[in-house]
Structure formats: C-alpha cells, structure tokens
C-alpha cells in the first residue's frame, strides 16, 4: 500500500528528528568531559593535571577551614565528602561564599595546592525567608545547604 503524502511527510520528519537527536546525544556524551563545568576534588586528584592546565574545582567549603592571610589572600579547603583539596585565592570573594556552602574555583593545581584566580559561589535551588531559616535552625531541622556543590 502506497503511503499518502501526509504520511510520508510525517515519516520524513520523524526520521530527521531521530537522526538529529542521535547526533546531539553523541556529541553530548562524547564531549562530556569538556562540557562538565568543574571537577570534584576526588576527580581533580585522580586526574593530577599539570601546573599549566587551567581547570575548575567545585565542592563544599570545609567548615572551619577558611583562613584569611595578609591583604586579600584567603585559603580554604574544598571537599566533596570523599576527598578534599586545599585552595589558595587572592581577591574578593562573592557574597554567598561561606563555610559549608558550595563553591567553584578556577585556577591551576600547583604542588597539591589549587591556586585559584577566580572563586564563584554556587547557590542551590532553596529559597526561603530569613525568619523561616532562623526558626528552622532553632528547631535543629535545618543544617545548611547540603547539596550545594554537586557530586
């Protein structure tokens, strides 16, 4: 039975879309490593990049690890639970930067220390009024954003 013209158009569109979707997926999967915006400390240590490679590391700022040095120098530890990486940074930190919160730092890994020239704060998808957060903290329900840094 011959296809009607309408059916043939539908088949052509479906085939074209399927081919495109397959191509886009292949590109996405193939370039996964370069599409990833940052690496976790564990991935960073496993990769062991040279000091000339610019990369981004992301995770949570370990509680109690932030140390302010001379001038604008700050050092802190980024952790993903499995591994942690010391970070050194000179510059102005964003508003949302705080201990226990997500952070993404861009720079180079030099002798096991990540020397960052840019630090970005990562925000999660939680939005609540200040009073609610305070009330939750008082009740001990809320313990700070836990998923801030991805995995």
Q: By CB under 8 A, is residue 125 in contact with another protein?
A: yes
Contacts of 57 (CB under 8 A, 6+ apart): 38, 39, 40, 41, 44, 78, 85, 87, 104, 105, 114
26 binds another protein (CB under 8 A): no
Binding status of residue 32 toward another protein by CB under 8 A = yes
Minimum CB distance to another protein, residue 4 (Å): 11
For 95, 99, 107, 144, the CA distances from 134, given in Å and listed in that order, are 19, 17, 35, 11
Applying CB under 8 A, does 131 fall inside the site for another protein? yes
Termini Cα distance of the chain: 54
- Under the binding rule (CB under 8 A), the answer on residue 105 touching another protein is no
6: three-class secondary structure by DSSP: helix
CB of 113 to another protein, least distance (A): 21
Going by C-alpha positions, the residue among 80, 91, 86 that lies closest to residue 38 is 80
Helix (H, G, I), strand (E, B) or coil at 146: coil
Whether 127 has a binding-site annotation, put simply, is yes
Give, as ranges, the residues between 60 and 89 that touch another protein (CB under 8 A). none
Candidate segments 47-55, 67-75, 108-116, 118-126, binder of another protein by CB under 8 A: 118-126
Query: Does the annotation list 142 as a binding residue?
Result: no
Residue of the chain from 42, 83, 93, 113 that contacts another protein (CB under 8 A): 93
Residues flagged as binding site: 123, 127
Residues flagged as binding site for heme: 123, 127
């Amino acid at each position: 039975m011959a296809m009607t013209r309408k059916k043939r158009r539908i088949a052509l569109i479906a085939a074209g879309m399927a081919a495109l979707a397959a191509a886009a997926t292949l590109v996405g999967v193939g370039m996964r490593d370069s599409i990833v915006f940052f690496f976790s400390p564990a991935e960073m240590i496993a990769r062991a990049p040279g000091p000339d490679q610019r990369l981004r590391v992301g995770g949570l700022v370990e509680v109690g690890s932030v140390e302010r040095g001379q001038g604008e120098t700050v050092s802190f530890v980024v952790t993903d639970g499995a591994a942690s990486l010391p970070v050194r940074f000179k510059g102005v930190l964003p508003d949302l930067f705080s201990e226990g919160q997500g952070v993404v730092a861009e720079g180079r890994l030099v002798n096991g220390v990540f020397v960052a020239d840019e630090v970005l704060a990562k925000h999660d998808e939680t939005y609540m009024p200040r009073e609610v957060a305070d009330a939750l903290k008082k009740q001990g329900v809320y313990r700070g954003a836990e998923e801030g840094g991805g995995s």
